Amino acid sequence: TPNALPTQDMAFWYDGADLDGDGTVDAMDGRPVDTWVEKSGNANDARLGGGGAVQDADGVRMSETQGAFDAGAHATVNNSRFSEKSIAVAFETGEDVSGFQVVFEQGGTTRGYNLSIAENPDTGEPTLYAFVYNRAEWDDAHAFKPIDMGPVEAGRSYSVVMVHDATAEDLADRTFTAYLDGEPAGQLTHVEMQYPHGASVGIGGIQAGTVHPVDFSGQNGAPFGGTVSELASWNRALPEDEIGASS
């Protein structure tokens, strides 16, 4: 439930059941959505140009739009250096999970984070990826850190938490970890501090560019054809005892 989310060091919080951020559950009756109010108090409201998103019983359904919500760029989110960051996303896939679909992204084609669906080149299956990257300051051998969380199915709900923890003294012990539905789904090491990655945050698609988790190419567009139920971020590495509350 929304009240269970940790609030310490929260950078943003978008609740698909409370679009105006007033603390009460909306009617969830299929109304059009063009503004999604941010609930952490940082005033990073997200806006959708062109329309097409609607609020249904599961959150904000993006299947009728080719755009993405623009949550801007902010010092508390991406315009600073971060040695710790956690991002939680609850969503439901649409009827079609083929192609490249971005559920969430922040940054651009040089540095950033994203959560996406892409074809696994080994299996050919639509696959869920958690991804952090930095092709500028990070060592070339460790510039791209995608975690394959396994195949996705159409019309299914998922909860993902991505945790970046670059606080260890030894670089080899600095990590990027993904949790799927409250369970560990993969961890990568040698993940340095993230540097400022300004450009608008995109919800349900790409706003100002991102990087593909398989071939590491720069990307635009990539609309998500499902529903985003909740999205939150913290400027700290959530411990495992708080992962369940965020899933």
Residue-wise pLDDT tens digits, 153-168: 999 999 999 999 999 9
Which pLDDT belongs to residue 82? 98
Q: In whole angstroms, what is the distance from residue 31 CA to residue 13 CA?
A: 21
Which pLDDT belongs to residue 246? 67
Q: Per-residue DSSP letters for 125-139?
A: -EEEEEEEEESSSS-
In order of 40, 114, 142, 177, 213, the CA distances from 190 in angstroms are: 31, 18, 7, 12, 17
**Tens-place pLDDT, residues 3-33:** 479 999 999 999 999 999 999 999 888 999 9
